[in-house]
Chains A and B, each alone.
Chain A
Amino acid sequence: MTLFCFSLMLLGIGALVALLAGKGAAANRLPAAMLCGASLLGLAVAISTLVSGRVETLHVAWGLPFGAFSLRLDALAALFLIPTFLLAAACSLYGQAALAKYAATRRLGAHWFFFHILVLAMALVFTAADGFLFLLSWEAMSLAPFFLVSFYSDREQVRAAAWTYLVASHLGAFFLLALFMLLVNAAGGSFAFQAFESLQLGGGQAAILFGLAVVGFGSKAGLAPFHIWLPEAHPAAPSHVSAFMSGALIKAGIYGLLRIGVMVAPAGIEPGLVLLGLGLATGVGGILFALAQRDLKRLLAYSSVENIGIVVVGLGIGLFASRAGAPAMATLAYAGALLHALNHALFKGLLFLGAGSVLHATGSTAIDRLGGLQQRMPWTGACFGLGAAAIIALPPFNGFAGEFLLYVALAVGHPHSDLAMVFTSALSIFGLASIGGLALLCFAKAYGLAFLGEPRRQEVLDAHDPGPAELATMLSLGLACVLSGLAAPWLFEAILPVASQLAGTTGVPLSLVADARRLLDAVVLAALVLAGVVAVLALARRALLRRRAVRQGVTWDCGYLKPAASMQYSGGSFVQPVTFLLQPALKPGFAAKELQEGPTGYFPAKARFEAPFPDWILESVFRPLFEATVWFCDHFKWLQHGHINLYILYILLALLTALFWALR
Chain B
Amino acid sequence: MDASSFLHYGLGLVLAPLLPGIVNRVKALFAGRQGKPLLQSYYDLAKLLQKSAVYSKTTTWVFRAGPIVGLATTLLALGFVPLAGSAPLCSFTADFFFVAYVLAMGRFATILAALDTGSAFEGMGASREATYSALLEPIFLVSLLGLATLSGGFSLAAALNNAASAAWATHWPALMLLVAAFFVVLLVENCRIPIDDPNTHLELTMIHEVMVLDHSGPDLAFIEYAAALKLWLYCCLLAAFAPIRIGNPILDFLAACGLAMLVAIAIGLVESTMARLRLVRIPQLIGLAGAFAALALILLRRGA
Task: Name A residues whose Cβ lies closer than 8 Å to a Cβ of B.
Answer: 371-372, 374-375, 378, 381, 385, 389, 392-395, 400, 404, 407-408, 411-412, 416-417, 419, 422-423, 425-426, 429-431, 433-434, 436-438, 440-441, 444, 447-449, 452-454, 515, 518-519, 522-523, 526, 529-530, 533-534, 537-538, 540-541, 544-545, 548-558, 563, 565, 567-569, 573-578, 580-581
What distance in Å separates the Cβ of A134 from its nearest Cβ neighbour in chain B? Answer: 38
Do A541 and B222 contact each other (CB < 8 Å), given the known contacts A395-B98, A519-B94?
A: yes
What distance in Å separates the Cβ of B138 from its nearest Cβ neighbour in chain A? Answer: 4
Partner pick for A395 among B102, B127, B140, CB 8 A cutoff:
B102
- B105/A395 in contact, CB under 8 A: yes
What distance in Å separates the Cβ of B291 from its nearest Cβ neighbour in chain A? Answer: 12
- A551/B54 in contact, CB under 8 A: yes
- B142/A385 in contact, CB under 8 A: no
Do A534 and B68 contact each other (CB < 8 Å), given the known contacts A371-B118, A545-B217, A581-B283?
A: yes
Partner pick for A533 among B76, B133, B134, B283, CB 8 A cutoff:
B76
Measured in the bound complex, the distance between the Cα atoms of B111 and A538 in whole Å is: 19
B residues in contact with A416, CB < 8 Å: 149, 152, 304
A residues in contact with B49, CB < 8 Å: 544
- A577/B108 in contact, CB under 8 A: no
- Interchain Cβ contacts within 8 Å, total number: 245
Measured in the bound complex, the distance between the Cα atoms of B72 and A554 in whole Å is: 28
- B94/A556 in contact, CB under 8 A: no
- Can you list 9 pairs linking A and B with CB atoms under 8 Å apart? A394-B101, A395-B105, A433-B142, A453-B115, A544-B217, A568-B118, A569-B124, A578-B130, A581-B283
| Cβ-closest chain B residue relative to A530 | B76
Task: Name B residues whose Cβ lies closer than 8 Å to a Cβ of A.
Answer: 49, 51-60, 62, 64, 68-69, 71-73, 75-76, 90, 92-95, 97-98, 100-102, 104-105, 107-108, 111-112, 115-121, 123-124, 126-128, 130-131, 133-138, 140-142, 145-146, 148-149, 152, 154, 203, 213-214, 217-219, 222, 279-280, 283, 294, 297, 301, 304
B residues in contact with A372, CB < 8 Å: 58, 118
Partner pick for B118 among A431, A444, A563, CB 8 A cutoff:
A563
| Cβ-closest chain A residue relative to B63 | A452
Do A526 and B145 contact each other (CB < 8 Å), given the known contacts A545-B217, A554-B57?
A: no
Measured in the bound complex, the distance between the Cα atoms of B119 and A378 in whole Å is: 20
Measured in the bound complex, the distance between the Cα atoms of B58 and A372 in whole Å is: 8
Provide the main secondary structure of the chain B interface.
Answer: helix
Identify 17 new A-B residue pairs, CB closer than 8 A, beyond the known A394-B108, A550-B53. Answer: A374-B62, A416-B149, A419-B301, A426-B146, A426-B297, A430-B138, A430-B141, A434-B137, A438-B134, A526-B98, A530-B102, A550-B52, A553-B57, A557-B121, A558-B121, A573-B123, A580-B280
Measured in the bound complex, the distance between the Cα atoms of B154 and A412 in whole Å is: 7
- B134/A440 in contact, CB under 8 A: yes
Partner pick for A404 among B59, B94, B145, CB 8 A cutoff:
B94
- B102/A538 in contact, CB under 8 A: no
- A440/B76 in contact, CB under 8 A: no
- B130/A441 in contact, CB under 8 A: yes
Partner pick for B58 among A407, A419, A518, A555, CB 8 A cutoff:
A555
Do A454 and B101 contact each other (CB < 8 Å), given the known contacts A440-B133, A537-B68, A575-B127?
A: no
B residues in contact with A393, CB < 8 Å: 101
Measured in the bound complex, the distance between the Cα atoms of B92 and A453 in whole Å is: 39
- A552/B112 in contact, CB under 8 A: no
Do A375 and B123 contact each other (CB < 8 Å), given the known contacts A412-B93, A419-B301, A453-B117?
A: no
Do A448 and B126 contact each other (CB < 8 Å), given the known contacts A557-B119, A581-B283?
A: yes
What distance in Å separates the Cβ of A463 from its nearest Cβ neighbour in chain B? Answer: 14
- A558/B203 in contact, CB under 8 A: yes
- B135/A449 in contact, CB under 8 A: no
- B149/A444 in contact, CB under 8 A: no
- B120/A567 in contact, CB under 8 A: yes
Do A436 and B62 contact each other (CB < 8 Å), given the known contacts A372-B118, A519-B94, A545-B53?
A: no
Measured in the bound complex, the distance between the Cα atoms of B219 and A537 in whole Å is: 10
Provide the main secondary structure of the chain A interface.
Answer: helix
Measured in the bound complex, the distance between the Cα atoms of B127 and A416 in whole Å is: 38
B residues in contact with A580, CB < 8 Å: 280
Partner pick for B214 among A429, A555, A578, CB 8 A cutoff:
A555
| Cβ-closest chain B residue relative to A547 | B52
Measured in the bound complex, the distance between the Cα atoms of B93 and A419 in whole Å is: 22
| Residue of A411, A438, A550, A563 with highest tally of chain B CB at under 10 A | A411
B residues in contact with A550, CB < 8 Å: 52-55
Do A411 and B60 contact each other (CB < 8 Å), given the known contacts A429-B145, A448-B111?
A: no
Do A441 and B90 contact each other (CB < 8 Å), given the known contacts A530-B76, A548-B52?
A: no
What distance in Å separates the Cβ of A252 from its nearest Cβ neighbour in chain B? Answer: 30
A residues in contact with B55, CB < 8 Å: 550-553
Partner pick for A574 among B117, B126, B137, CB 8 A cutoff:
B126
- A568/B120 in contact, CB under 8 A: yes
Measured in the bound complex, the distance between the Cα atoms of B210 and A558 in whole Å is: 10
| Cβ-closest chain A residue relative to B127 | A574
What distance in Å separates the Cβ of B94 from its nearest Cβ neighbour in chain A? Answer: 5
What distance in Å separates the Cβ of B210 from its nearest Cβ neighbour in chain A? Answer: 9
| Cβ-closest chain B residue relative to A518 | B92
B residues in contact with A447, CB < 8 Å: 112
Do A541 and B123 contact each other (CB < 8 Å), given the known contacts A438-B134, A440-B107, A549-B52?
A: no
Do A554 and B279 contact each other (CB < 8 Å), given the known contacts A453-B115, A569-B126?
A: no
A residues in contact with B54, CB < 8 Å: 550-553
- A444/B68 in contact, CB under 8 A: no
Do A448 and B115 contact each other (CB < 8 Å), given the known contacts A549-B52, A554-B57?
A: yes
Partner pick for B62 among A385, A437, A540, CB 8 A cutoff:
A385
- B104/A534 in contact, CB under 8 A: no
Do A569 and B134 contact each other (CB < 8 Å), given the known contacts A393-B101, A537-B71, A563-B118?
A: no
What distance in Å separates the Cβ of A509 from its nearest Cβ neighbour in chain B? Answer: 18
Do A576 and B127 contact each other (CB < 8 Å), given the known contacts A437-B134, A534-B72?
A: yes
- A436/B149 in contact, CB under 8 A: no
Do A581 and B94 contact each other (CB < 8 Å), given the known contacts A411-B145, A453-B116, A569-B126?
A: no
B residues in contact with A423, CB < 8 Å: 297, 301
Do A436 and B142 contact each other (CB < 8 Å), given the known contacts A374-B116, A453-B58?
A: no
Do A437 and B53 contact each other (CB < 8 Å), given the known contacts A395-B101, A573-B127, A576-B127?
A: no
What distance in Å separates the Cβ of B177 from its nearest Cβ neighbour in chain A? Answer: 14
A residues in contact with B123, CB < 8 Å: 453, 568-569, 573-574
A residues in contact with B102, CB < 8 Å: 395, 526, 530
Measured in the bound complex, the distance between the Cα atoms of B76 and A575 in whole Å is: 30
Partner pick for B60 among A412, A452, A540, CB 8 A cutoff:
A452
Measured in the bound complex, the distance between the Cα atoms of B76 and A544 in whole Å is: 22
- A555/B56 in contact, CB under 8 A: yes
- A569/B57 in contact, CB under 8 A: no
What distance in Å separates the Cβ of A446 from its nearest Cβ neighbour in chain B? Answer: 11
Do A444 and B101 contact each other (CB < 8 Å), given the known contacts A374-B116, A404-B94, A550-B53?
A: no
Do A437 and B133 contact each other (CB < 8 Å), given the known contacts A554-B57, A567-B120?
A: yes
Measured in the bound complex, the distance between the Cα atoms of B133 and A81 in whole Å is: 38
- B138/A577 in contact, CB under 8 A: no
B residues in contact with A454, CB < 8 Å: 58, 118
B residues in contact with A556, CB < 8 Å: 56, 117, 119, 213-214
- B76/A434 in contact, CB under 8 A: no
Partner pick for A522 among B71, B92, B108, B120, CB 8 A cutoff:
B92
